[in-house]
Structure 1
Amino acid sequence: MDSCYAIAETSEIVSPAMVVFRELVESNLREMLRIAGDPARLRPHCKTHKMPAIVKLELQAGITKHKCATLAEAEMLATAGVPDIVLAYNPVGPNIGRVIRFKQQFPQVKLAVTADHPQPVAQLGQAAVAAKVQIDVLLDIDSGQHRTGLPAGPQARELYERIAQTAGLVPGGFHLYDGQNHQTDAAARREAVMAVWEPAAKLRDELVAAGLKVPRILCGGTGSFPIFAALNDPVIELSPGTIIFHDANYRELFPDLKFTPAALLFTRVISRPTPNRVTLDLGYKAVASDPPAGKRLFFPDLPDAVAVLQNEEHLVLETSRAAEFQPGDALLAIPRHVCPTSALHKSVYVVAGGHVTETWDVIARDRVLTI
Structure 2
Amino acid sequence: MTQGNWYIIKDIEKLDTPGLVIYPQRVRENINILKRMIDDVSRLRPHVKTHKSKEAALLMLDAGITKFKCATIAEAEMLGMANAPDVLLAYQPVGPKLERFIELNKIYPATKFSCLVDNSISAQSISDTALKNHLKINVYLDLNVGMNRTGITPGLEALQLYIDCNALPGIKLIGLHAYDGHIHDADLAVRTKRCNESFEPVKKLQQSIKEKGYPEPIIIAGGSPTFPIHLKRKVVECSPGTFIYWDRGYSLTCAEQPFLTAALVVSRVISLPDETKLCLDAGHKSISAENELNKRIYFLNAPELVFIGQSEEHLVVDAGKDHHYKVGDVFYGLPYHVCPTIALYERAITIEDYKISGEWRNIARDRKINI
TM-score normalised by the chain length of structure 1: 0.97
Partner of 1:277: 277
> Which residue number in structure 1 is paired with residue 4 of structure 2?
2
- Cα offset for 1:331? 0.7
- 2:209 touches 2:217 (CA, 8 Å); kept in 1? no
With 25-34 and 216-225 compared, the bigger mean Cα shift is at 25-34
1:297 counterpart = 2:292: no
| Identity, % of aligned positions | 36
Question: Counterpart of 1:178?
Answer: 180
- Asked if 1:19 is matched to 2:21, the reply is yes
Separation of aligned partners in 1, 2:6 and 2:160: 52
Distance between the aligned counterparts of 1:158 and 1:322, measured in 2? 69
- Cα contact 1:173–1:213 (8 A) shared by 2: no
1:226-245 Cα distance to aligned partner (Å, 9 max, x none): 11001232xx1110001111
Partner Cα distance (2:105, 2:234) in 1 = 33
Partners in 1 of 2:274 and 2:209 — Cα distance? Answer: 67
1:130-209 to 2 correspondence within 5 Å? 130-209=132-211
What is the Cα deviation at residue 322 of structure 1?
A: 6.8
Q: Does 1:81 align with 2:78?
A: no
Deviation digits for residues 317-350 of structure 1 (CA, Å, limit 9, x no counterpart): 1123773111111110000110000010010011
Q: Deviations over 1:262-287 (max 9, x none)?
A: 10001111001111111111111111
SS in 1 for 2:12: coil
Q: Distance in 2 between matches of 1:321 and 1:2?
A: 27
In the TM superposition, 1:1-371 aligns within 5 A as 2-233=4-235, 236-320=236-320, 323-371=323-371
Tell me by how many angstroms 1:38 deviates: 2.2
In structure 2, relative to structure 1, the CA distance for the partners of 1:14 and 1:289 (3 Å cut) is same
Residue 25 (structure 1) shift: 1.1
Give the deviation of 1:296 after TM superposition. 0.5
TM-score normalised to the size of structure 2?
Answer: 0.97
Q: Which secondary structure does the structure 2 equivalent of 1:97 belong to?
A: helix
TM-align CA RMSD: 1.2
User: Which runs of 5 or more structure 2 residues have no equivalent in the other structure?
Assistant: none
Q: Distance in 2 between matches of 1:357 and 1:18?
A: 13
Shift of 1:93: 1.3
Q: Give the residue type in structure 1 aligned to 2:118.
A: D
Q: Which runs of 4+ in 1 moved over 3 A?
A: none
Q: Secondary structure of 1:356's partner?
A: strand
Query: What amino acid is aligned across from residue 268 of structure 1 in structure 2?
Result: R
Aligned-partner residue type, residue 55 of structure 2: A
Give the number of aligned pairs.
369
Where structure 1 has 5 or more consecutive residues not aligned to the other structure, the ranges are none
8 Å Cα contact 2:275/2:321 also seen in 1: no
**Alpha-carbon distance in structure 2 between the residues aligned to 1:288 and 1:273:** 24
1:151 is displaced (CA, Å) by 1.1
Deviation at 1:214? 3.8
Whole-angstrom distance in 2 between the partners of 1:8 and 1:165: 62
